[in-house]
Chains A and B, each alone.
Chain A
Amino acid sequence: MARYAMVIDTRSCIGCHSCTVACRVHNNLPVDMIYNPVTTVGPTGVYPNLHMAHIPLLCMHCEQTPCVNSCPTGASQRREDGIVWIEESKCVGCKTCVMVCPYGARVSNHEKGTVQKCDFCFDRVDKGSIPRCVQSCHQKARIFGDLDDETSEVFKLVNGEHAVRLLDDLGTEPYVFYIYGLEG
């Protein structure tokens, strides 16, 4: 069984927000909903040594899932391949998962009354494709693959580069990894 993960190389990201737009179009999201915003850190430092980084954020598809554990209806689920998703018909919009997620990755759909989030485009992944945000990234800053496959690029990056996890001290073991440059 695969264990899907994503590596985000912030050295390559230029903050164009193509991934954000592609995700919204693919998931047909309302205007006020974003699954994967891109934040900006900096500029930091003193001229001429200035640094700035763009950090794409999304659901971290954690190994230890506080969202799944806290969902009173069982709508939040985690597949064997690690993808965390929401079965919309079961969601009652209690927002427990929204509050318990350390990454702010879940958003309420006020029209439907449910909570929604990034699901690594599993409809595409199950057909052998890659998530829409990865496909749309012209800088190749997003790398998606099977972390259990030693030949995959994500395996090599996670084990070869200094890939870090966000808020690692909270113990959620996210499966989205970040590679920082000089600013990190």
Chain B
Amino acid sequence: MAQKHETWGWMLAVDFFFAGMGGGMLVIAGLSDLFLGVGMTSVLGNLLGPCFVGLGACLLVLELGRPFQSWRVFMNPKAILTFGAWNMLFAIGSGFIYTSFGIGALPWSNSIPVREFFAVTNVIFGMIVATYPGVLLARHKSRPFWTGTGIMGLFLISSLVTGGAAHMISQYVYGAISSIVSSWGIVDASSSAVLRGLPFFVAGLLALQLILWIGYVWIKHSGSTKRETIAAERWISGNYAMPFKGGFLLLGTFLPLVLVLIPGDLMKGLGALLVILGGLIMRLLVVYSGQDRTWLPGEQKYRSRLPLGHEAFLKAWNSK
């Protein structure tokens, strides 16, 4: 067998990452438009938001055992996954339509009420997409590291901070290629107050993320049940300690917190890239920590004895 514990794979973690980042980008674009006006975020950033959500959705489909039956996930309105799937769909649609208002060559680009309507839908669906993976995991009562409301806040903050970082990078990239699409009448956001303020927004969220993550692991470690303590020990001194402390906290949170505050596009851009890397590491660690289930009597010993790496034999045997 390929694994001793049934768990979701890396594709779902990367889905959570891209969908969260895209959702965060939609929220930032929508709020900036509603409170500060048009052209506060780059059109490339507005476009990448729904693209990232769509990329996440594609990975979600590939993670399924029967990808060609993926339409069935829209069928049970009571299920959180169905709720998430519909919201991803709405977020993608809303994001693309909102982006089109930034292209002056399109006839509807001057329709302010319609643009603002889609800015509102961007915020609503983006917020849900950014938060829902956390809600999904928080409902797993038997997964001690996930259960509880704390994980929802951590996912929301990570989505917003990676979304902010992605908007920063989008603006730098768009600045480099803007001459190519100059005839499209694209709204110029290069002097936007939001883009100038994004590094401070990202730095603030990174500081919050640092504090909340340390607090979350500490609370889990000194938590209400022994199984939560055991799960948290993996992050403090177990096999997740190095990627968590070195990869996520230091490289993906603390270092970019310093870098985005240093003047100069190079440092800010590097900091933004590290923020995105940190968001990816966090999703992978959280999803893989789901293999820590609340064990039944004797189950750990039983699972530790299951054979691994016999896939070729099993496949040949089963096909007999």
Interfacial residues, chain A to chain B (CB-CB below 8 A):
30-32, 37, 39-41, 53, 55, 57, 66, 69-75, 90-96, 98-104, 106-115, 166-167, 170-171
Residues of A within 8 A of B72 (CB): 72-75, 90, 92
* B143 to A, closest residue via Cβ: A99
Q: How large is the interface on B (under 10, 10 to 19, 20 to 34, 35 or more residues)?
A: 35 or more
Q: Which of B60-68, B199-207, B213-221, B238-246 contacts A (4 or more CB under 8 A)?
A: B60-68
Residues of A within 8 A of B134 (CB): none
| Of B73, B290, B294, B318, the contact of A72 (CB 8 Å cutoff) | B73
Contact B79 A113, beta carbon cutoff 8 Å? no
Q: How far is the CA of A99 from the CA of B63 in the complex (A)?
A: 14
Residues of A within 8 A of B301 (CB): 39-40
Contact A95 B8, beta carbon cutoff 8 Å? yes
Instruction: Known A-B contacts: A72-B73, A114-B66. Give 5 more (CB < 8 A).
Output: A30-B314, A57-B296, A99-B8, A103-B296, A113-B66
Contact A115 B141, beta carbon cutoff 8 Å? no
Q: How far is the CA of A107 from the CA of B6 in the complex (A)?
A: 7
Contact A113 B76, beta carbon cutoff 8 Å? no
Contact B314 A32, beta carbon cutoff 8 Å? yes
Residues of B66-113 at the interface with A, using a CB-CB cut-off of 8 Å, are 66-67, 69-70, 72-76, 78-82, 85
Contact B66 A100, beta carbon cutoff 8 Å? no
- Shortest distance between the CB of B143 and any CB in chain A (Å): 7
Residues of A within 8 A of B290 (CB): 99
Contact B318 A30, beta carbon cutoff 8 Å? yes
* A33 to B, closest residue via Cβ: B1
Contact A167 B296, beta carbon cutoff 8 Å? yes
Q: How far is the CA of A39 from the CA of B298 in the complex (A)?
A: 5
A-B complex: 5 closest residue pairs judged by Cβ atoms: A93-B65, A113-B65, A39-B298, A102-B142, A73-B72
Contact A102 B73, beta carbon cutoff 8 Å? no
- Shortest distance between the CB of B79 and any CB in chain A (Å): 4
**Known contacts A30-B318, A31-B318, A108-B65; A70/B73 CB under 8 A:** no
Residues of A within 8 A of B143 (CB): 99
Contact A40 B298, beta carbon cutoff 8 Å? yes
Residues of B within 8 A of A94 (CB): 63-65, 73, 81
Contact A39 B297, beta carbon cutoff 8 Å? yes
* A34 to B, closest residue via Cβ: B306
Contact B66 A96, beta carbon cutoff 8 Å? no
Q: How far is the CA of A73 from the CA of B2 in the complex (A)?
A: 26
28 A-B pairs within 8 Å (CB atoms) are namely A37-B302, A39-B297, A39-B298, A39-B301, A40-B298, A55-B298, A69-B78, A69-B79, A70-B81, A70-B139, A71-B79, A72-B79, A72-B82, A73-B73, A74-B75, A91-B65, A92-B70, A93-B64, A93-B66, A94-B64, A95-B8, A100-B139, A100-B140, A104-B296, A108-B6, A110-B2, A114-B66, A115-B65
- Shortest distance between the CB of B69 and any CB in chain A (Å): 5
Residues of B263-320 at the interface with A, using a CB-CB cut-off of 8 Å, are 290, 293-294, 296-299, 301-302, 310, 314, 317-318
In the complex, whether B178 has a CB less than 8 A from a CB of chain A is: no
Contact A39 B81, beta carbon cutoff 8 Å? no
- Shortest distance between the CB of B315 and any CB in chain A (Å): 8
Q: How far is the CA of A114 from the CA of B141 in the complex (A)?
A: 23
Q: How far is the CA of A104 from the CA of B73 in the complex (A)?
A: 22
In the complex, whether B7 has a CB less than 8 A from a CB of chain A is: yes
* A178 to B, closest residue via Cβ: B297
| Of A37, A66, A112, the contact of B65 (CB 8 Å cutoff) | A112
* A180 to B, closest residue via Cβ: B297
Contact B1 A96, beta carbon cutoff 8 Å? no
- Shortest distance between the CB of B297 and any CB in chain A (Å): 5
Q: How far is the CA of A169 from the CA of B267 in the complex (A)?
A: 51
Q: How far is the CA of A136 from the CA of B310 in the complex (A)?
A: 29
Residues of B5-23 at the interface with A, using a CB-CB cut-off of 8 Å, are 6-8
Residues of B within 8 A of A57 (CB): 296, 299
* A111 to B, closest residue via Cβ: B318
